[in-house]
Structure 1
Amino acid sequence: MLAKQHSLMETLDAKELRTFMAVVRIGSIRGGAEHMRVAPSVVSRQIADTERSIGLALFERTARGMVLTEAGELVLEHSKRVIEESSLLAEQLGLLKGVQQRRVRIRCGEGFLADILQYGLGAFVTLHPEIQYELELDSSEGVLDSIANGDADIGVAYNPLIDTRLRSLAISRQPLCVVTKPGHPLVDKDNLALADCVGIPNALLSKGHGITQLVTRVAADSGFTLAPLVETSSVDVLRRFVIAGLGISFLPRFAVSTELERGAVVVRELSDSLLADASAHLMVRARRRLPLSVERLGNFLAANMAAFR
């Protein structure tokens, strides 16, 4: 038994775990091989060897691609822990050597981008010049998956779904607002609700974004629909849509702070309870021991970003 366990641990080395995780993420041997820049035959052989060593299949091969088995799910969780612990160890050893270089990967919704750059990284990079960053934009669903799958260290999303794979370092109430041009009839309406926006041309973010999930749910619960004139993955397109006088959109106040300051738009909070209680979340993977650089940046963003004040 001890010999078998030893053999298994030798099989599940960090390099092969990364290859396995790439196949899981992309959903195919070929895609995983391209991501890792190795031949598909190498990836296929590595996975077959691991399956023989543990005596269980890691994947079900289906027409939709590679689907994890129960054993595969267990190996995936083990893989995440090994990769994260390796990264943590590398940073700790680097500190002992006096080498403090570290890369922190951030995923966020586009509406948070200016906030992160101006109030977060703008000051943090001066305090910690040894840290480098990867900053990528994604939908709320994409942010959650990136953190849970170990593709990012810190995520910022608007009103994400509850996900036990993650924990929040900071949560702040950020009501969803109607964004209009100055002088629009909605500006002066008392107790403005989402239903009051029916029939007015609007622009919405595409599916997978927290804002759209909220708006769609409230509309469905109230028995109406909001058919967008423009659907986009870009918050900047929503801002420009409103400023151009094409109609209205829906964003939290912090996402249009610059436009508000120069008087280009007006915002009104919506009275629907789900929209009024929406929130911004700063997240990391649950049950992960955070590297010092990630912990420091997470705490700094929580204390300084406008979205969390």
Structure 2
Amino acid sequence: MPQSLVSANLRYLDQVARSGSIQAAAKELHVAASAINRQILQLEEQLGAPLFERVPRGMRLTVAGDAVVTLARRWRQDERRLESEIRRYQGVHQGQVTLHAMDSHSTSVLPALVAALGESHPLISLSVNLGSTDEALAAVMAGTADLVAAFNLPPRRELLVLWRTELPFGCVVAPSHPLAGARSVSLQEAAAYPVALQSRALAIRRYLDAQYGWLFTEARGRFESNSLQLVKQLALGGRHVVFTSELDAAPELAAGLLRFVPVRDKGAEPQTIGIAVDATRPPGPLVKVVAEHLQAAIERALEASRAGASKIAPPASG
């Protein structure tokens, strides 16, 4: 499909929204700025509403503009799906899939996914964005992601979960940490040591705040960051306890650099990892292929992390 089915004015509108100005959009699209401006003015006249606020430093979407851009991005996503479907009818597995995943997947699951796809489906292009579960949901609902892999996906009618598995709730510590030899630990025991917490943008932290707020009433020995890599580094240092899932620390667990200790408190709910799509638009064949490879990559990461832990497991205590 060399010629886009989405009209030029909508494509120009989308690019101006992304770039922040007509001049920047013109450079990205290799189109004259005057042509872009003319198309946007015509679209505003057609809709009877301003789509941008002209501010000194560029262009800012109005409420109406945001609605039109959201629609345009959905149509462009649909166009890519249509192109993939047509290629499938022609016997060609070719096209692009946009995936929204968690930051922790970048060091374990995603490299394995890219390698597997490259080997078995080299004509599939994969675009990956990283962020929180909230951002993943927003992306799939807005049509800017074909597929999401996220922790603790909430039940929603408009979300179709293709696969989900439970992850024990627990913490990770270095092999030298006093808790490393325990079969399980209570939250109170874990909180007696310095704790490194992930930010409130993540579902696991919001769960801790809601269910075990008493953990955070004292600031003694506590560290907080929106960087998973940083809090894992603190755990690797030997002093800190990090409340997280096995999948978040899969490479370190597989290598024996960290130990996962389940939390035994009554009512401590397991976390989940799920793969989902927009329920209003059934996944096409390319999305299904990527979802299957993604599931396999997650399962392999979990198997490796548990195998690594079993190899270095010290005599159990506690």
TM-score, shorter chain, exceeding 0.5: yes
1:293 to partner: Cα distance = 1.0
1:156 pairs, out of 149, 153, 167, with 149
Please tell me the root mean square deviation across aligned C-alpha atoms, in Å.
3.9
2:260 equivalent to 1:249 = no
Q: Which residue of 2 aligns with 1:229?
A: 223
% identity of equivalent residues: 23
5+ unaligned residues in a row in structure 1: which ranges? 1-11
Deviates more, 1:262-271 or 1:246-255: 262-271
Higher normalized helix content (fraction of residues)? 1
Partner of 2:126: helix, strand, or coil?
strand
| Distance in structure 1 (CA, Å) of the matches to 2:290 and 2:149 | 12
1:25 to partner: Cα distance = 6.2
| Distance in structure 1 (CA, Å) of the matches to 2:190 and 2:18 | 39
8 Å CA contact retained: 2:186, 2:263: yes
2:95 equivalent to 1:102 = yes
| Distance in structure 2 (CA, Å) of the matches to 1:209 and 1:52 | 42
Deviates more, 1:96-105 or 1:54-63: 54-63
Q: Which residue of 2 aligns with 1:5?
A: none
Partner of 2:98: helix, strand, or coil?
strand
Q: Kindly provide the amino acid, as one letter, of the partner of residue 215 in structure 1.
A: L
Change (3 A) 1:178 1:34: farther
- TM-score, normalised to structure 1's length? 0.74
1:211 to partner: Cα distance = 2.8
8 Å CA contact retained: 1:195, 1:219: no
Change (3 A) 1:191 1:127: closer
1:117 pairs, out of 111, 115, 133, with 111
Partner of 1:167: helix, strand, or coil?
strand
1:16 to partner: Cα distance = 2.9
5+ unaligned residues in a row in structure 2: which ranges? 304-318
Residues 1-309 of structure 1: matches in 2 within 5 Å?
A: 13-22=6-15, 29=21, 33=25, 36-37=28-29, 45-58=38-51, 66=60, 69=63, 75-76=68-69, 78-96=71-89, 100-113=93-106, 114-118=108-112, 120-161=113-154, 166-182=159-175, 184-187=177-180, 192-198=185-191, 200-220=193-213, 224=217, 228-233=222-227, 235-271=228-264, 275-303=268-296, 305-306=298-299
| Distance in structure 2 (CA, Å) of the matches to 1:221 and 1:245 | 24
- TM-score, normalised to structure 2's length? 0.72
8 Å CA contact retained: 1:200, 1:248: yes
Change (3 A) 1:110 1:90: same
Partner of 2:248: helix, strand, or coil?
helix
1:251 to partner: Cα distance = 1.7
Change (3 A) 1:140 1:35: farther
1:244 to partner: Cα distance = 1.5
